[in-house]
Structure 1
């Protein structure tokens, strides 16, 4: 079988995008998705997104991590899906539209500077956690848990983030008993100024640090708003570039770039 795809990236968080058209369905197993996302034997990506046109102002997306397992939503994936839908003619780019994911309908809009704005939900109140229960090897000022469609632990780190072994500490916390049975994503945050954060994220399902995690930076922003400052706009630096999280009309948005890297055909056996 052959499938058309686009390889995309949103601040270094990379995805395989495919369109499910009305005349056929896409049958990809967990094994297929793992192979496609493999960086040595496949296309290579942090995740795979299946999109479909639902209406003139609505598309749907099903997101899968590189381990082949589904997740309710991916913040950077929403921006990639928005651009993919525009390029494929699935939606009109002149007005806001909606992307239906596993956690609800996300408003999306193309901004004048080329960035893509997507709405992110906070599924429950941010919970402050006593960081001492984790017996961490790094100095941490505070810890919090936020569910922005997927679970996130947010650690406010005292020292320079470049000295943190994100994979080592992140893997330990991702499987910590406190977060059983689902586990959690782990964000390491350094506050630069009242409106600027630096965030590094260890992602479950990818089991590695990624260059950027959209729901993770929004979880970090919610944690910052709850414990430090309620400034409505926050600029966030990640390994893959810069993002912005802001509040508008009682909604929370993630804004940043996305790009198509290449497109092609992938052959697989059913």
Structure 2
């Protein structure tokens, strides 16, 4: 069975988009998602995105990281889905219902209301999530936020000085985080946030939309920046708005790279 796909990216965070809203596809498994994501023997991506019918929204978006694991949310993929859909929509994700709409330069996404309770992150035991009394080597007192998926955020003097390729997997898999965690390293300069992200199940990526949302919220909550704020990632900037008690609004670009087909049996 030949299956069509669309290769897209948001600031270099790239996706294989599979559209099953009209015609059903074979079931995506952890094995098939990881095989398709492999950059040497597959198509290659940070995340595989499956769009399906939904009884609760205009459509459903499922997200598989490059290791094959299914996760709850992906902000950059939401912008890609908005570009592909072409009009405002409510989208069901495992992290909740989000609202998205295409813009001239990309998309605007209502990511919903963030959660700060320790058991909604989740953490293994109760603590203050605004300034957690924990550390890993030079990284300490992070914030934790759930924006549909879990994030821990460290504010440092210079995010480029942190060996995130080494500390990222160490923190991601720490027993403090029962479902693992996305690791964000940020610094503040001239009222903007500079950010690097180690994504749970994907590693270092050029951009992370949910990471930008979580980090902006944590910085606003600590009084380090004011909303709206620019979050600069290796792939480029995102604009994030958030007011206490409200939804997070993310705006930024999305791009279609190319389209193609593959033989499903080759990756099953």
With the length of structure 2 as denominator, give the TM-score of the two structures. 0.87
- Find the counterpart in structure 2 of residue 89 from structure 1: none
Range with bigger deviation, 241-250 or 229-238: 241-250
Aligned mate of 2:239, from 237, 244, 249: 244
- Find the counterpart in structure 1 of residue 125 from structure 2: none
For residue 219 of structure 2, give the secondary structure of its aligned residue in structure 1.
helix
For residue 120 of structure 1, give the secondary structure of its aligned residue in structure 2.
strand
- Find the counterpart in structure 2 of residue 164 from structure 1: 162
For residue 176 of structure 2, give the secondary structure of its aligned residue in structure 1.
helix
Q: Does 1:107 align with 2:99?
A: yes
C-alpha spacing 1:135/1:229, structure 2 compared with 1 (3 Å):
closer
1:10-36 deviation digits (Å, cap 9, x = unpaired): 011100001104443432221111110
- Find the counterpart in structure 2 of residue 145 from structure 1: 144
Distance 1:202 1:135 in 2: 15
Q: Does 1:51 align with 2:42?
A: no
CA deviation after TM superposition for structure 1 residue 53, in Å? 4.9
Query: CA RMSD, aligned part only?
Result: 2.0
Distance 1:21 1:230 in 2: 40
Q: Does 1:228 align with 2:223?
A: yes
Distance 1:100 1:17 in 2: 16
CA deviation after TM superposition for structure 1 residue 81, in Å? 1.3
Distance 1:135 1:125 in 2: 21
With the length of structure 1 as denominator, give the TM-score of the two structures. 0.87
Distance 1:227 1:38 in 2: 39
For residue 137 of structure 2, give the secondary structure of its aligned residue in structure 1.
coil
1:98-147 deviation digits (Å, cap 9, x = unpaired): 11111222111222x4220111134422712345x324235x5x410011
Q: Does 1:129 align with 2:131?
A: yes
Structure 1: runs of 5 or more not aligned: 87-92
- Find the counterpart in structure 2 of residue 66 from structure 1: 66
- Find the counterpart in structure 1 of residue 122 from structure 2: none
For residue 177 of structure 1, give the secondary structure of its aligned residue in structure 2.
coil
Aligned length: 253
For residue 17 of structure 1, give the secondary structure of its aligned residue in structure 2.
strand
Aligned mate of 1:253, from 249, 252, 267: 249
Distance 1:98 1:224 in 2: 28
Distance 2:143 2:172 in 1: 14
Q: Does 1:200 align with 2:196?
A: yes
Is contact 1:232-1:247 (8 Å) kept? yes
Distance 1:78 1:229 in 2: 27
- Find the counterpart in structure 2 of residue 2 from structure 1: 2
Structure 2: runs of 5 or more not aligned: 118-128
Is contact 1:122-1:147 (8 Å) kept? no
- Find the counterpart in structure 2 of residue 77 from structure 1: 77
C-alpha spacing 1:166/1:135, structure 2 compared with 1 (3 Å):
closer
Which of structure 1's runs of 4+ aligned residues deviate more than 3 A?
Answer: 247-250
